[in-house]
Chains A and B, each alone.
Chain A
Amino acid sequence: MRLAVLYIIFITLSNFAFSKKVYLEDFSADNFNKEIELANPHDTIVVKSGNIKAESIIIRKPVCIIGENYPSISGKGKDHILKIYADSVVIQGMEFNNSGYSYVQDRAAIRLDSSSRCNISNNRFVNTMFAVYAARSKYLIISSNIFEGKGKGEAASGNAVHLWYCNDVIVRNNDIAGHRDGIYLEFTKGVKISENTSHKNIRYGLHFMFSHNAEYKKNIFLNNGSGVAVMYTSNVLMEDNIFQDNLGAASYGLLLKDIKESKIINNKILNNSTGIYIEGGGKNTFVNNIINNNAWAIRILASSSENSFKNNIIVANSFDLSTNSTMNSNSFESNYWDKYSGYDINKDGFGDVPYYPVRLFAFIVEKNPPLIILLNSFFMFILDMAENIIPSITPPTMIDNAPLMKPIYDKI
């Protein structure tokens, strides 16, 4: 108790002693630069409303910049708008727009380099190429920002949140749209990404490579050009996310390439061209996911092994499961498949006859794609039935021995 009181007194005193608050009434480019120049470490600069045109603003000391009523800084199209080379910088309540587009430089609204413990929250980013670009930084918080990109094509647009060689970053509650990738991570370890909405991005809503030990919770990835693609990573936790409406020739709700030892739990994967696509890697667990109304619910290529699917609900997909090989080391246990037509005599809730989720039609379409024209054909339905009774082509080990008789949820 005494220690706590002492601590509070110390904190209050230290505030009086070392940091001051400066109100920037006249918000112009020169004033703003000068104020940053003059500020002592840990000072707070409060910016009232206003618009300025500026770029290459450099911050080399730990300051806190707080905007009221979103004062905006427009880029001139030649360089990053704000460059941060210090630790503990706070940027709040600002608006950044028109960074300009560059094919040479990864043009960003806020560029952080080797800066740790920075906080970028409640900002707005409008028409920026890259919005927040962080390299070699640790313990960043990027939260409650709004990213409104206006990228045209993949080549001439950047990522909203771009982290490269960063550690322990929290990305929370952001609304991201119109960039190339909503959230892009490379060589970034231990991130926690939660409650973001990433929608209408040109390529991926979320894209990461070599970013181990990460957590993704309660995010919504909606209507992105190619969905979500995650690659070359192990030990990822994806929980309570929604992957929805990613439609197109190469669109995936969730594309896992060389993902190992990860958990995908409680997600909703709705109305995508391919719900879950798995290539390479393995030993992932998929539990309690709802996979509804996709063209292909799950596609597993033979290069991925030992994945396990348990208690998932797979309903109203054109194809439940498809694969390109008769060899299989993946396991399916107690999932609900709406196409299952077995019975349950002992009433334990599990079907007594196994379910083979790979339909003959799915298997031959995988090998001969133009055959998709026979989708919903009664002839194929009969062939599927025949294959069900006398399996000869489909992989015999892709089997759910105890499928659920009822989905865990009544209505989906």
Chain B
Amino acid sequence: MLSSLLLFELKNLIKAKWIFFYAGFYFLLVEALYYFSIESSKVFISLLNIILIVIPLISIIYGTQHFYNSREYIQFLLAQPIERRNIFLSNFISSLIATIGGFVLGCGFPLITHEINDSIILAISLILSGILLGGIFLSLGYYISNLFDDKAKGLGAALIIWFFLCFLYDGLILGVLYYFSDYPIEVPALIMSMLNPNDLARLFITLELDNSALMGYTGAVYKNMLGTFWGIISTLTLMIVWLVLPFMLSLRKFSQKDF
């Protein structure tokens, strides 16, 4: 049942052509960056900001809106003898394919073809964090739209969460670090950063990108904790937790929801 539902959703997705515009946007962006930059690390800095800001925004809004828009379709399906779990999964997975697929097609492929002989590890870690961030913010969007029935409320909450995780949280870290600057604050700062998926992705890429900066006196503390095998594993694990947790919560909410 799941597969036929998913197939239907995917057909809808392709009909809407949205995913192709999304992929085209990334493609043009990457090519333009390579064309205008004199140094490929400049491309990475720009892409890093795109990945940390644009992908979460688009994913969380798409997640929220898509669920609201397919509300009538879902209500119709609920009248049929179909498991709720399958309805939710098909909806979620098709959105996941839309956001992540668009990113991988438009940004991943050109990036890898440009960097195949140079900084391939950096390119892969950029793409990986883009994929994970897309998934995380999408599932956050689903959770929000399951929490609020009002579309405007949901959109507001999505924007607030995006703004908090992408901007304010770093301000919070800045404040805490300044306030406690007389203490050895490196480890608490690291733990604080690791609680935010956006910061996780940023550190994950920064470890590759600004290797030399993190080799500095205090940077070495971070590098020794994050840059090791176990550091990378725990970063990825935390990001997957961030993806799975809102997903499970929204699945539970959806299963008990009174439409």
Contacts and interface: CB of A to CB of B under 8 A. Distances in A.
Interface in A390-412: 407, 410-412
A228 interface: no
B155 interface: no
A379 B167 contact: yes
B42 to A, nearest CB: 6
A293 interface: yes
A296 B213 CA distance: 7
A97 B128 CA distance: 51
B230 interface: no
A73 B246 CA distance: 72
A385 interface: no
Interface centre among B168, B199, B202 (most CB of A within 10 A): B202
Given A316-B39, A381-B49, A375 B206 contact: yes
Looking at chain A's contact residues, is the secondary structure mostly helix, strand, loop, or mixed? loop
Contact of B189 (A370, A380, A411, A412): A370
Nearest to A248: B215
A371 B221 CA distance: 12
A358 B192 CA distance: 27
A368 interface: yes
Interface string B164-181: 001110110110011001
B41 interface: yes
A373 interface: yes
Q: What band does the interface of chain B fall in when counting residues whose beta carbon is under 8 Å from A?
A: 35 or more
A247 interface: yes
Contact of B39 (A272, A273, A315): A315
A372 interface: yes
Interface in A346-403: 368-382
Contacts of B156: none
A309 interface: no
Contacts, number: 113
Interface in A312-329: 315-316, 318-319
Given A316-B41, A377-B170, A382-B167, A295 B215 contact: yes
Contacts of B48: 376
Contacts of B167: 378-379, 382
A294 B205 CA distance: 16
Interface in B171-215: 171, 173-174, 177-178, 181, 185-186, 189-190, 193, 199, 202-203, 205-206, 209-215
A335 interface: no
Looking at chain B's contact residues, is the secondary structure mostly helix, strand, loop, or mixed? helix
A250 B217 CA distance: 7
Given A247-B215, A296-B213, A372-B216, A379 B174 contact: yes
B217 A315 contact: no
Interface in A270-305: 271-274, 292-296
A327 B189 CA distance: 31
A295 B216 contact: yes
A224 interface: no
Contacts of B177: 368, 370-371, 373
B190 A247 contact: no
B100 interface: no
A292 B53 CA distance: 27
B162 to A, nearest CB: 12
B218 interface: yes
A319 B219 CA distance: 14
Interface of A: 247-251, 271-274, 292-296, 315-316, 318-319, 338, 368-382, 407, 410-412
13 contacts: A247-B215, A249-B215, A273-B216, A293-B41, A294-B212, A295-B215, A315-B39, A370-B189, A370-B218, A372-B218, A376-B205, A377-B170, A412-B39
Q: Which 3 A-B pairs have the closest CB atoms?
A: A295-B213, A379-B170, A369-B218
